[in-house]
Chain A
Amino acid sequence: MTIAVADARDKKKRAFNWRSVAVHGCLIFGALLMIYPLLWLASSSLKPANLIFSDLSLWPSKIRLQNYVDGWRGAALPFSTFFMNSFIVSGLAVVGNVLACSMVAYAFARLNFIFKKTLFAVMMLTIMLPLHATLIPQYALFHKLGWVNTFLPLTVPKFLAVDAFFIFLMIQFIRGIPRELDEAATIDGAGPIRIYWSIILPLLTPALVTTAVFSFIWTYEDFLSPLVYLTSMDRYTVPQGLSLLMSSKGASSWGPLLAMSLLSLVPLFVVFFIFQRRLIEGIATSGLKG
């Protein structure tokens, strides 16, 4: 029996070359299809308006860098304002999520306290909760506090660990850290705060990086919250800037719009290329949505 299996495997190996060429061919074709729209975006952002829709080739026959200049200044305010706002909001969101979620995760993973089971169940339920369920009363609350048209409604919730998914991610990770380390530190006289800061936090780094990367991406891409809370243009984030540019210009200015669209994706590309292993691991192990 084993000989038969080995024989079959040998045959497979000999026939494998052709099959593997076919599979690679399919995969490469699929990959091209997948990124074709992005390549098209990149090439169109460099084309003069009359070529965007008539010239199919990805290599522009005429390059027009002016699209970027026109786009940058195309909306009522330059894109530097929007990028700055986006980076402030996303940066604060990263800090907030990393700090707050790690604290809460440490408590759930390592400390004993009353109502722990109930609170854990509540935390898990809030992960499932659609954002719209709380949107309107939250808006009313922030309106009362005078926070509308500031960055506070977009950032303060992160410092209050509202993105419970990251708490769950970190709890799972902390459970993998040997408890002996905590015990040894306790014997040496360290309390929970010290253990959190000097033992758990450094060992939690991979999960913190995953959290930071996803917090950045999601906050940077988020359109609904800025749309609701940021009302004056000098506070707009990049997605709002793009939306503004799209509606303020006629169909004649696709070049600048596409140029700014591509530019707005650059920070995401950078994060992706630096952290792709972390990102993919984060999704594979915890089911984070991309």
Chain B
Amino acid sequence: MSTTVSEATSLEATASSEARPRRRKAVGINARHNGVAFLFLSPWLIGLMFLTLGPILASFYLSLTSYDMFTPPQWLGLDNYVKMFTEDGRYYQSLRVTFTYVFLSVPLKLAFALGIAMLLNRGLKGLGFYRSVYYLPSLLGGSVAVAIMWRQVFAYDGIINQVLLKFGIDGPSWITSTDYALYTLVALAVWQFGSPMVIFLAGLKQIPQDIYDAAEVDGAGPVRKFFSVTLPLLTPIIFFNFVMQIIGAFQAFTPAYIISGGKGGPADATLFYTLYLYEQAFTNFQMGYASAMAWVLVAIIGLATVISFKSARYWVHYGDER
């Protein structure tokens, strides 16, 4: 018995060692298929070349020039960047607006997403129904139609104020007020908490029930269970949602464009970074300046992502450390 086994294995070994040089060359699924592989990759490689990498480099060059699309770019060196940070008050305003929006909308959105996900994760009946209803706004939220609707909801004679009137409060004209316009856009973003909620729900399902049982045996109440079990085990997903939402929020465009009529008004109160970039590029044809703005945006988003990843080691727990 033992001899046959050893014979068989040695046979196999010799067979495979014989086969190996040949196999590496041609047959088998581990063989290299450079030709065919690059055939499959070709659409993407062309796109990468002409629509991604090429444009990124070109946009860096353009950011150092003055360019209006119709005459060749003229070299300016760092002038665009200098102007941006020293002379352009509207640029600062666009930064202020965008950062306010990101820092308010992302945490609020994630808090709602996690809260509702936890309510839903109790093995309720009708989970599918609730999940769909709460998710729906985030599917529609980016559309022009929803922005138009939002504009009406928060108009001076819109439903928000009509409801407030029932309580004897005379609400302001939210959309045209410099104090409130930006917050209506934050509210619109928070309303779309559905997609991070769905991701949280999937994460909550992964937490094994016996950890909760063990915590309960040790005398943990619901609050303690939340802070000592749910939250730590969910940190990888909180982290993922956080990074994705930050990246998305910096690029918000459509709602601000529609609600402010394309101008970022009133008085630049909703002048989002992307809106100002669009205006510089396609209304004023300051393509060089707009390219410089685009590069700073890339740097901001990149920095935000790097900081998130660096901070992750202090608060994100991965399963295997447990």
Contact = CB atoms under 8 A, between A and B. Distances in A.
Interface stretch (A59-67, A73-81, A87-95, A99-107): A99-107
Given A111-B36, A122-B48, A280-B135, A133 B297 contact: yes
B304 to A, nearest CB: 11
B257 interface: yes
Given A30-B134, A111-B36, A128-B247, A103 B148 contact: no
Looking at chain B's contact residues, the main secondary structure is helix
Given A20-B124, A224-B278, A246-B148, A106 B195 contact: no
B310 interface: no
Contacts of A26: 119
User: Which of B34, B40, B213, B302 counts the most A-chain CB atoms under 10 A from its CB?
Assistant: B40
Nearest to A116: B37
B152 A133 contact: no
Interface string B130-156: 111111111111111110111011010
A114 B35 CA distance: 10
Interface string B194-227: 1100110110000000000100110000000000
Contacts of A134: 51-52, 55-56, 59
Contacts of A243: 144, 258
Contact of A114 (B34, B47, B141, B162): B34
A285 B34 CA distance: 31
A39 to B, nearest CB: 11
Nearest to A192: B36
B36 A283 contact: no
Contacts of A218: 142
Contacts of B150: 37
B294 A23 contact: no
Interface string B21-62: 000000111111110111111011011101110111011001
Contacts of A103: 40-41, 43-44
Given A40-B153, A130-B250, A159-B43, A264 B137 contact: no
Interface string B229-259: 0000000000011001001101101100110
A177 interface: no
B148 A242 contact: yes
A221 B41 contact: no
B319 interface: no
A278 B37 CA distance: 30
A1 B217 CA distance: 8
Contacts of A238: 144
Contacts of B50: 141, 160
A35 interface: yes
B198 A5 contact: no
A14 interface: no
B161 to A, nearest CB: 9
B122 interface: yes
A130 B58 contact: no
Interface string A149-178: 000000001011110100100000000000
Interface string A130-155: 11111111111101000000000000
B110 interface: no
B277 interface: yes
A37 B149 contact: yes
A41 B140 CA distance: 13
A31 B40 contact: no
Nearest to A265: B145
B48 A8 contact: no
B119 A119 contact: no
Given A24-B124, A26-B119, A272-B139, A254 B152 contact: yes
B305 A128 contact: yes
Given A133-B56, A136-B281, A113 B38 contact: yes
Given A265-B146, A290-B139, 9 more contacts: A27-B120, A100-B47, A129-B52, A129-B56, A136-B287, A161-B43, A221-B142, A239-B143, A261-B148
8 contacts: A41-B145, A44-B152, A133-B297, A162-B52, A182-B29, A246-B258, A258-B152, A261-B149
Sorted from nearest, which 9 A-B pairs have the closest CB atoms? Answer: A160-B47, A290-B195, A284-B202, A137-B55, A113-B37, A137-B58, A107-B40, A261-B145, A134-B55
